Each structure stands twice: as C-alpha cells, then as structure tokens.
Amino acid sequence: MKRKMLAALLVCALCLPRANAVSAQGAVVMDADTGEVLFEQNADARLPMASTTKIMTALVALSEGNLDRIYTVKKAYTLVEGSSMYLREGEKISLRDTLYGLLLESGNDAALAIAGECGGLEAFVQKMNAKAAALGLKDTHFDNPNGLTSETHYTTARELAVIAAAAMQDPVFRQISGTQSYTSGDHVMHNHNRLLSMYDGAISGKTGYTKAAGRCLVSAAERNGRTLVAVTLNDPNDWNDHMEMLDASFAKYEEVMLHEAGKEIAMQRVFGGNIEDVPLLAQHTIKAYVLPGELDKIETVIYGDRICYAPIAKTALAGQVEYRLGGKALARDAVVYGAASLLLPEEKNIAERILERILGSS
C-alpha cells in the first residue's frame, strides 16, 4: 500500500509544472528602464540568436542619420538566403521603409541593404560590435547584420535583453517594431511577432529562427507604466513561455501611492507680494507600480521657475513634479499654487506724502 501511495505521489509530482522553468535553453525577463532582472534561466550561456540580431542592426541604423533618404537597391542586397522583404535590384526605397522590412518581415535582404547603405557591410558590423561594447556586453559578438549562422556570432539571453532595452528607448524603434502591418509601394509587410495580438500590453519584439539557433524570441510589454523585456533562445514553446514569464514578472510589482491630490510638494518663495511663501500643491493623485525595495530609491524632481514674483493666483499652474527611478521618469504631475500672493501697495515718495498732507488738512 505504501509503495502504491508513493508511486502515485511521484506521478502527481511529475505532472506538476516546474516552478519558474521554461523550455528555453536560455531565458531572462528584465525591467527595460532599470535593468532589474526579474527572471532568469541559464541567462549567461553563449548561444546563437538568429534574426533577433536585427534588433542591433536597427539600433545602429537608427543612429546613422536620415531615415528618409532614398537609395537604389543593389543586386548584392538581393542575393541572400532565408527570410526576405523581396527587395528588387534597381528599385528605389527609403531606409525607413527598409527598417520596416527588417523588423516586420525579418528581411535578410533588408539587413544587407541597411548595412550597405550605412557605411558598407564590414564597417557596419564593426559598428554593431562597438555598440555592444558601449553597452558593456562581454558575451556578444556579431559577424553579420542578419543573424545567419556563424561560429562567432552569439549572445546571451541577458545581454540580448540589454540590447532590446536600449532599443526600447528609441521611439522610432518602438513605433516600427510595434506595427502590425505596413505597405511601401508593392511591399506589403506583416509583423511576425504574434504576441502583439496575443498578449495584453505587448508593444514590441523580434522573432528569429535558424536550424542552429532554434526558435528565438524577444518581446516587450508595458503595464501600469512599467516596461519589461523578455528573451528566450532556442525555445520550442516560446509564445507560451513569454506570456507566462511576463505574467509572473508583472505580478511582482505592487501599487504604491506617490502623492494624493492637494498634497504639499514644496514651498515657493514669492517676491513683491503680501505673502512671501506659497505652498505648491499636487494637482492629481498619483500612484505607481514598483518592485520591493524600489520605493526608497525614487527621486523627486520639481520643475518650475526658481524665482517667482507677485502677483500669483491660487490654483494657477506652477510647474511639474517628476518621480524618477534609475534615471528614468516613473510618473509626473502638475503642481499648482496653493495660495494667492497679491502685489504690495507701492510706497509713496516724499512729494506724494507732502501733497497728501496738504490735501488732508485743507
């Protein structure tokens, strides 16, 4: 009987999902603004990353200048294997539209075109590696701008998350990578990132696959003012794993009150008025979502005139209060004057006082 009970318990245990485990060879979830790691699994293993490479390709291209420059497609750009946006030799297209082909259709031809038009392939790859070094990455190296298999083309889940977090700071990258579909001439492009329609709050990401790398996925999602980046490398169950990782990571944040409407934020010195010090009051109730321990790290910055002169009206706009965490704005609110300060009566000169006495005695 005891053996049967133990066997049944063992079967039940094996049927239970592994706590905090995903199917990926390497995985991580990172706060895009603070760099805080909320989940990791073999996050520092050097692995191929397939077309998630193109996040760095886009990041370098976005720093190169005029995205609306029109170029003529060279034959060399079209002679590449794998996924394509189907550029044609001799057609004219902008770098911006090529970026859509890079991030939505994962075009290997788009990657070659971008590299070729931004200094040439060899120089561009050098820029990719220089950018990785500037981000402090030690276990990332690029051999090409598209992610095709190469022995010395690799990253880690953790370092790919750092690259993605840096890309998320660029509004153009956010806009392009979060677009569901886009048309440029006869190029009709559709985003391969299914999480954009599957997951509440998904805003960006990049897919990737080669036989050597397996299924690779980077996703970004935003909830309650916090942005998370999730990365899986060689993960046959990537869509489900990303949703589970993101849900579990967002659940670690808790809502806190930063200030209530009407709270005194600071005192403002007023010159030339009947009241010298006027309180600055918060206009709205402001809450934020933070991780344990983050509340004490939040910095408060007040923007407004350093010197204020009367008259000022009660409830008039005085400036803004901003709460910052890790160098990034977490929340903002307007501040208003909590009292009025009226101009003092002008002091009369000697002649005016003499005239006033004369008139008063007559």
Q: Which are the catalytic amino acids?
A: 51, 54, 106
- Model confidence at 6, in pLDDT bands (50, 70, 90)? very low
For residues 86 and 189, state if they share a domain.
yes
Within its chain, how far is the Cα of 91 from the centroid?
Answer: 34
- Model confidence at 56, in pLDDT bands (50, 70, 90)? very high
Q: With 90 as the cut, is the pLDDT of residue 187 above it?
A: yes
pLDDT tens track for 332-357: 999 999 999 999 877 666 666 667 66
pLDDT tens track for 231-270: 999 999 999 999 999 999 999 999 999 999 999 999 999 9
Bridge-based pairing of strands 226-233 and 328-337 is unpaired
pLDDT tens track for 61-119: 999 878 999 999 999 999 999 999 999 999 999 999 999 999 999 999 999 999 999 99
CATH code of 295's domain: 2.60.410.10
pLDDT at position 344: 83
Range of the domain at 240: 19-250
Question: Among residues of the chain, what percentage have pLDDT more than 90?
Answer: 86
For residues 227 and 328, state if they share a domain.
no
**Cβ within 8 Å of residue 42, ≥6 positions away:** 24, 25, 26, 27, 157
How far, in Å, CA of 8 to CA of 20, rounded?
24
Q: Which of 250, 277, 307 is the last residue of a domain?
A: 250
CB 244 within 8 A of CB 197: no
Q: Is the pTM of this model over 0.75?
A: yes
Asked whether residue 59 is assigned to any structural domain, the reply reads: yes
For residues 275 and 243, state if they share a domain.
no
For residues 42 and 119, state if they share a domain.
yes
For residues 234 and 267, state if they share a domain.
no
Closest CA to 308 of 259, 284, 272: 272
Domains held by the chain: number: 2
Asked whether residue 353 is assigned to any structural domain, the reply reads: no
- Model confidence at 20, in pLDDT bands (50, 70, 90)? low
Closest CA to 87 of 95, 96, 98: 98
Q: With 50 as the cut, is the pLDDT of residue 192 above it?
A: yes
